Amino acid sequence: MIRLQTVQVKDRDLLWNINQKYLYEMTNFYDDPMDESGNYHYGYFEEYFTDPRREAYFIYNGDTLAGFAMICPYSNIGEEPDYIMAEFTIFPAYRRRHLAIETAGMILRTHPGKWEIKYNEKNPPAKKLWTAVTAPYSPKIYHLNEEETVFAFEVAAGE
């Protein structure tokens, strides 16, 4: 059973650590170097604990931490969405069990409104996931460049 747990200030170090592992995985698609401390830059990390418009969730499969999601309202395409899926991952050991589709759907239904989800075209699993998750909402598709695509759509309350 999937459940979301809101990340609290006391959880900052855990979110930082698992986000670093996620950012490392994303170097398969983005040319982001490590800093002198061996970390990957994430410019808005602290704002998830100070900006009330940003939210982060731990994703649990039963009692096991299986991923995380970070959402905010700051557009990639110059619009005024209610929510952006800033970061989303299911840890590799829990993939291919439909947890991502189930969790993403849960997050969308919990946050009705205008959404944007960006993915990298070089990441076929992300493209497959976000295409499937957003299909019921008939998203408008924006190509930011050759590699990045944004789905913009609206989730009605009660869907």
CB-based contacts of 18: which residues, under 8 Å, 6+ apart? 65, 68, 91
* Full-model pTM: 0.91
User: How is residue 53 annotated by DSSP?
Assistant: T
CB-based contacts of 98: which residues, under 8 Å, 6+ apart? none
Question: What per-residue confidence (pLDDT) applies to 27?
Answer: 73
Question: What per-residue confidence (pLDDT) applies to 20?
Answer: 86
Q: What CATH number is associated with residue 92?
A: 3.40.630.30
Distance of alpha carbon 121 from alpha carbon 103, whole angstroms: 21
Domain count, the chain: 1
SS3 141: strand
Number of neighbouring beta carbons within 10 Å of residue 81:
20
Distance of alpha carbon 104 from alpha carbon 87, whole angstroms: 11
What does each C-alpha distance from 43 to 11, 21, 46, 47, 79 come to in angstroms? Answer: 18, 16, 8, 9, 21
Distance of alpha carbon 27 from alpha carbon 36, whole angstroms: 16
Structural domain span for residue 55: 2-155
Question: What per-residue confidence (pLDDT) applies to 42?
Answer: 82
Dihedral sign, CA of 74, 3, 20, 10? positive
For each of the chain's 159 residues, which pLDDT tens digit applies?
899 999 999 999 999 999 989 888 877 677 777 778 877 788 899 999 999 999 999 999 999 999 999 999 999 999 999 999 999 999 988 888 889 999 999 999 999 999 999 999 999 999 999 999 999 999 999 999 889 999 999 999 877
